[in-house]
Chain A
């Protein structure tokens, strides 16, 4: 296994600083991209579940465009094409914008399906009680939809973290970039990719676990058996037998 020989590991540990620096940059971009995609997801998700045709149309276009073209092309557009119009964004900003907007489209779909899964009667009941639209969304529909939305949202968050690695291609200074530049300058590909793989795994694995846990917690439908237990606790039917 010459790819993992001792001297390559020595080189890696002599240059471990940039790896942690890249790890920090990745976390920084993940944090802001995640916030941005959540905000976009809620706004466009609510729009696509609204009764207004124009709002629905706008969010449809947003979702379809960003879901059906590669993230790499979008990021490259920000990096390569915008400077021709004298718009020069920093690489980190490109990362946050590109990754955030791309995953916002996925979040928006999750929010939409979550809202649509809440029974219609909830909205009608709220209207009859004099709630306004934003109030209904904020305090009635979204809290109930949250249970359905959480597991897929954590999944998207994990994908978002993995996809920040794309910034390596535009010299984003993130984890993947540091590994790639270290590997190509020292030829110690094996250790570099292994260490970076472990670092990504450390962030993504807990999220994947969380998603699985939430799915189990919220996905369980009450079984018929539970209803009989419930009825027993209310002592239904006992009076007749007396």
Chain B
């Protein structure tokens, strides 16, 4: 027990905790910005795919299929190593945001398309009969109903994004998993049980991710229940 307390103390020093939680801030920031941006781009892509002319439709189909059928990690690495980010966004974090936005937009587009399909055709006809033009119908009538229907799927995708930001540890972006791994490798004091420390840190990492994602998945479940009820 004493050994365990010593291991706890050596892992959760004040500076270690600050470092790890600063990483958590980066994780949540990257996830939030990527999700918000990809909601916008995903909606645009879905509208292109459902109602666009030949060219726009073709573009969005190619984009969606390209990103949906290749691994997210591939894009994380490719963007980080091959794209030089412009000046105000040259911090490593932004290349992470770019890769997650590119990838998640394709997923969001498919989710939004599902939502668009769930809105009955009669809504269009009713809107047109009331003198709405096409863009106004989309913005005021169709999209609000569509978004309401897809809240659970979107939140599930947010969970996926939060989990996948751990990839960024691989390209030395200082997010939560990266910083926690640093804390782990910085534990070199041999008088304290190393095995215990490693397990404590892994436990801590899992608990932090779990608390965030489980709360989100509880929201997903209650929304789903409300929709089917």
Contacts and interface: CB of A to CB of B under 8 A. Distances in A.
A72 B169 CA distance: 10
B202 A81 contact: yes
B167 A72 contact: yes
A33 B224 CA distance: 30
Interface string A156-173: 001000110110110000
Interface in B97-124: none
Contacts of A73: 166, 177, 202, 205-206, 209
Interface residues of B, number: 35
Contacts of B78: 189, 193
B139 interface: no
B166 A70 contact: yes
Interface string A179-212: 1100100000110010011001100110010000
B71 A165 contact: yes
B177 A70 contact: yes
A100 to B, nearest CB: 17
Nearest to B184: A80
A64 interface: yes
Interface in A68-126: 68-73, 76-77, 80-81, 84-85
Interface string B188-206: 0000001100110010011
B68 interface: yes
Given A64-B217, A72-B169, A196 B74 contact: yes
A218 B72 CA distance: 29
A65 B199 contact: no
9 contacts: A65-B210, A68-B159, A84-B198, A166-B167, A176-B73, A183-B77, A183-B81, A200-B74, A208-B65
Interface of B: 65-66, 68-74, 77-78, 81-82, 159, 163-164, 166-167, 169-170, 177, 181, 184, 194-195, 198-199, 202, 205-206, 209-210, 213-214, 217
Given A68-B214, A180-B77, 16 more contacts: A68-B209, A69-B213, A73-B202, A80-B184, A84-B198, A158-B68, A165-B71, A165-B72, A168-B73, A176-B71, A176-B74, A183-B77, A189-B81, A204-B68, A204-B70, A208-B65
The 5 lowest CB-CB distance pairs between A and B, nearest first, are: A68-B213, A204-B69, A165-B71, A70-B163, A84-B195
